[in-house]
Each structure stands twice: as structure tokens, then as C-alpha cells.
Amino acid sequence: MMRRLFHASLFSLSLLVALTLVCFFLFTYLPGDAARTVLGAYASERNVAALRADWGLNKPLFHQWWWFLQGLFEGDMGHSLINQRPVDDMLISRGMLTLTLGGVSAVISLVGSYGINLIMWLRPDWRRLRYFALAGVLMPAFFSAMMVLVILGSLFPAWAFARLGTSLSHWYDVLIPAIIVALYPMALLTTLLEQRLQEQSNTLHALAERAWGYGVVKRFHRSLLRPAALPWLAAWLHQFSVILVATLVTEVVFSFPGLGTLLVSAVQQKDYPVIQAVILANGTFFVLLYWMQRMLLAWLDPRVRN
């Protein structure tokens, strides 16, 4: 297990290094001469050269990348080209909100798919619930977000107007977008879990436990959910990237002050340090998630281990 941990960690580390390299090349190297951009087209060649030397832009690329890494370790991701604010401040305040929104919707999707399946198990004539779940697959997040805005806007006009460009003040400001984001992953997880449970309910061990006289709820958890849980959890972890995209888009629709709205404005103003920071932070998060997922699955499932 220790060996495995070591290997997985080394692997994830190599992915992180590659991520910083890609970001460095894309956002620091490719956009051209930063010194010339800052000083403008009419600056003298001497001043540009001086600034370039001052910023170390004439050093070898490897050095520049090393400084870039050092900056990252010290939490210094540069300043926004637009309002000169340090990027890491923005990233943390916005990122926490996005993390909350994404986290809440991840929990909703997991708990929701479990709950729907439990209800369908307890009340077989309520199986139509699954069509309700399917609706989530069919609607892209921004469409369902707009539908909710329309409906809520006609019910509570004041709330919908307040949503246009303000900060969060109530719990439902997070919960409503989170439910919208969760619709799609919840639908997928529900159908997946339903299939797995169906398979499990036909097995001999399920029959045996039924013969032993276990109760309905206990059988659901013991003989169905436990063997079905692993692919379900793995699929849940896979859905995180879907949740990310839906979160970013839904934020824009709801004017939710998270990373999505930050990214939109940064893209429109070509604010490269901010875009870079958003990509780096999310990329790091997902590499770590991938690492955790591998360790978790190896820990839960002996078959993966060898």
C-alpha cells in the first residue's frame, strides 16, 4: 500500500509539473513580450530592454519557469492586467464561493440519486420518478437555470431582480443554483445506480438475505447498495468535471460572484494572469482529486490493488 501511495503521488506530481509548464507557456510565454505590452508601442527600445532585464525576461526559459514555480509556492500569481489587484486574493474569495456551490451540488447529486433509488425500492409503483430524473440529462445547465429564473422571476420578482449583479445574502442564493447544477449528474447517477441495484437484486446473496428475513430497508442497504456502491461512487467522482462546467455557466446566468463570472470578464478583457490562475487552481484541484480517487478506489476495492 505504501508503494502504491508513493507511485500514485509521484505520478500526480508529474501531472502537476506538466500543468504548470503548459500554463507557463500558454499565458506567460506565448502572449508575446510582456515588457512591450506594458510600456506600449511608443516606448523606446532601451526602456523596453531595461524592463525586460528587470523582469528577467531575457533569462533562459527554464529559469523563468522556475521563478514562476517559486511565485506559485509563495502564493504569488501576479496582478490582474485590468485592475492591478493581486490575483491570489481574487482567486481565494471567488474560489471559495465556487467550491461551496460545486460542493453543495455534488452532495445533492449523490444524496439525491440515493434517495430516489431508495424511494423506488420501497414503492415500486413510483418508478416513474426515473423519468423525472431523466429530464435532468436532457437540459443543459444554462437552459434549466434560465427556466428557473423565469419561474422564480414571475413568482418573486424582487428576488430575480436582486440577482442581477449582487453578492450573496441568503442560503437559497447558493441552494437554487446548486440544485440546477446537480440535475444532470444526479440523473446520470440515478440511472446508473438503478441498473446496478437491479443486477444485484437478482443475485443469490440477495435472495439468501431475503430468506433470512431481513427487512426491506436493511436489504436495500446490505445486499443491494453495498455491492453496487463502488461503480456508483466512481461515477460520482467522474461527474466532478461536469459539475465544474455547469457551475461556471450557471454562475454567469445567476450573476453568482464565483470563478465563472471572473473567468467570463477575464476572457473578455484578455486578462491573462487571471485566466491562468483560474485554470491552474482548477487543474490542481482535479489532479489532487484524481489522486484521491485512485487511492480511495484501491483502498475500497482489492481487485484494483493488484
Partner 1 sequence: MYGIEYLPSVRHALWLLLYIAILSVLALGAGQLLDPFAVDTTHRYHPPSMAFPLGTDGLGRDLLARTLYAIGLSFKVVLYALLVAGGLSLVLGGVAGYYANRWIDHLVSWLIALLTSIPFFLWVVALFAVIPADLETIYLVIGLLAWAGPARTVREVVAQLRRAPFVLAGHAFGFSTRRVMVRSFMTFVLPPVFFNLIYAIPELVAVEVGLSFFGLGAQPPTPSLGRMVYEGLREWSVAWWVALLPAAGFAVILAIIYFYSSRSHPLASE
Residues that bind partner 1 (CB under 8 A): 11, 14-15, 18-19, 22-23, 26-27, 30-31, 137-140, 142-143, 146-147, 149-150, 164, 240-242, 244-245, 248-249, 252-253, 263-264, 267-268, 270, 272, 275, 279, 282-283, 286-287, 290
Q: Are 81 and 267 in contact (CB under 8 A)?
A: no
CA distances to 156, 243, 248 from 162, rounded to whole Å, are: 10, 25, 20
Distance, CA of 212 to CA of 222 (rounded, Å): 12
- Residue whose C-alpha cell reads 436493511 in the numeric block: 218
Q: Are 144 and 191 in contact (CB under 8 A)?
A: no
- Residue whose C-alpha cell reads 415500486 in the numeric block: 124
Q: Are 258 and 222 in contact (CB under 8 A)?
A: no
Q: Are 165 and 126 in contact (CB under 8 A)?
A: no
DSSP category for residue 220: I
Distance, CA of 106 to CA of 99 (rounded, Å): 10
E runs forming strands in 72-211: none
Distance, CA of 284 to CA of 278 (rounded, Å): 10
Residues 6+ apart with CB under 8 A from 286: 240, 241, 244
